[in-house]
Amino acid sequence: MRLDHFEERLRSLATNSEALFLFAIETGEVRFDDKPGAPPIYTARAELYRDFLQQVIDCHAIGRSGLLALSLADRSGARPGLPVFEYQKQRGSPSILLPDVDLLGAAFFAGEAFRDPVPFAEKRAEAFFVGATSGGLLNRETVRALAHPRLRAAAYFKDRPGVTFELPEIVQCDGPETEAMIRALGFGEVRRPWADHFRYRYLLSIDGNGANCSRVALGLMGQAVLAKYNSPFLLFYFHGLEPWRHYLPVRRDDDVLALVAGAAETIERDAEIAARSTEFARQHLTEAACLSYTAELLRLYLEAFGR
């Protein structure tokens, strides 16, 4: 495919998607094309990635020019025939993964607010989750049937000892009646700081609008054990994660109860998983590691599709 035809196809693709932004790399500078009708959250994400890509180019001396397409939606499908970048994707998608938007937005969780100060041995042998009701549009039928992963889990764990599962932020409702139904179930309370998470041994991750970006990263970085529900979504480092080595896999809600019930017998195993996950995070989730990973991606991409 000729380069001019390839770039024309990328521009056509971006024109038909409010979430797909084009980033031009020229003479060592990165810019993206404005999309006046795009939701503000997509533009804010585009600015994060522009600054990050600029840092990659400056730190790793990327000299070639080119055009790349980056989807900034939480969920977007595969686009066969064209290389498209995303920050998460579904298994089987050919998209190219960049470091996720939460890593960039939180400066790779290097701040003091994200530091886990509680040693593994001092954590409560309990499971913990706090999040929003994200994961798809909620209507009265969905709430009534608990046909939503986070609502289902929250209702299942309510009043069960050893598991704290809270949904303080009610979002993605089709109207005030649906929101009122969720509040009547006992959700929509005060949000918790990250410091509350660090008191627990098992940090739960369950999908919202795709993979849990921040919760998975902090679960790996800290001194707790990540307990991760099965998910069809991938972040850029997920292929390196191994169940029972870097995290505890969860298939069903009652798996979490089994983890808590057996915590006294699995303390050595859990401590080893927590230590290995922390080492994994040090190797792959730091700013330096993400810059190096992205630099290699850009080199390969620009060799094939750049100028």
Q: Is 106 part of any domain?
A: no
Say if 74 falls within a structural domain.
Answer: yes
Q: Give mean pLDDT, residues 116-142.
A: 96
Residue ranges of alpha helices (H) inside the chain are: 3-15, 40-60, 101-105, 140-145, 149-157, 176-184, 194-197, 213-221, 253-261, 267-284, 287-305
Residue 174 has pLDDT above 70, yes or no: yes
181 falls within a domain: yes
Angstrom distance (rounded) from CA 23 to CA 70 = 7
127 plus 276 within the same structural domain: yes
The whole-number pLDDT of residue 52 equals 98
In a shared domain, residues 50 and 123:
no
The mean pLDDT of the chain is 94
Task: Look at the alpha carbons of 192, 196, 115, 135 in this order and tell me if their dihedral is positive or negative.
Answer: negative
Q: Within this chain, do residues 279 and 299 fall inside the same structural domain, yes or no?
A: no
* 265 and 293 housed in the same domain: no
Query: How many CA atoms lie less than 13 Å away from 30 in the CB half-sphere?
Result: 22
Residues 280 and 134 in one domain: yes
What is the tens place of the pLDDT at every residue in 45-66? Answer: 999 999 999 999 999 999 999 9
pLDDT of residue 24: 97
| DSSP states along 51-67 | HHHHHHHHHHT----EE
- We report the CATH number of the domain holding residue 257 as 3.40.50.2000
Residues 275 and 222 in one domain: yes
> Is the pLDDT confidence value at 145 over 80?
yes
Distance CA 223, CA 273 (A): 10
- In this prediction, residue 179 carries a pLDDT of 96
pTM: 0.93
Query: Are 233 and 158 in a shared domain?
Result: yes
Taken as a whole, the chain contains a residue count of 307
Confidence of residue 80 (pLDDT cuts 50, 70, 90): low
Question: Could you tell me the pLDDT band of residue 78, with boundaries at 50, 70 and 90?
Answer: low
Do 163 and 264 lie in one domain? The reply is yes
Contact, 91 vs 232, CB < 8 A?
A: yes
pLDDT (mean) for 194-219: 94
On whether residue 214 sits in a domain, the answer given is: yes
* % of the chain at pLDDT higher than 90: 85
Number of domains within the chain: 2
Task: Kindly state whether residues 213 and 295 are assigned to the same domain.
Answer: no
Lowest mean pLDDT among 73-82, 99-108, 110-119, 134-143: 73-82
- Residue 209 counted as domain residue: yes
Q: What is the DSSP string of 161-229?
A: TTEEEEEEE--SBSSHHHHHHHHHTT-------HHHHTTEEEEEE--BSBS-HHHHHHHHHSSSEEEEE
Return the sign of the alpha-carbon dihedral for residues 246, 252, 256, 262: negative
Tell me which of 234-238, 269-273, 303-307 is least confident: 303-307
Residues 196 and 267 placed together within one structural domain of the fold: yes
Domain enclosing residue 86, as ranges: 3-101+288-305
Q: Are residues 97 and 124 in the same domain?
A: no
Q: Which helix (DSSP H) or strand (DSSP E) does residue 244 occupy? A: none
Contact 45, 98 (CB under 8 A): no
Task: List pLDDT tens digits, range 214-254.
Answer: 999 999 999 999 999 999 999 999 999 999 999 999 999 99
Answer yes or no: do 24 and 87 share one domain: yes
- At 276, the pLDDT band (50, 70, 90 cuts) reads very high
- Average of per-residue pLDDT across 140-167: 95
Distance CA(36)–CA(56), nearest Å, equals 27
- Position of tokens 């009122």? 180
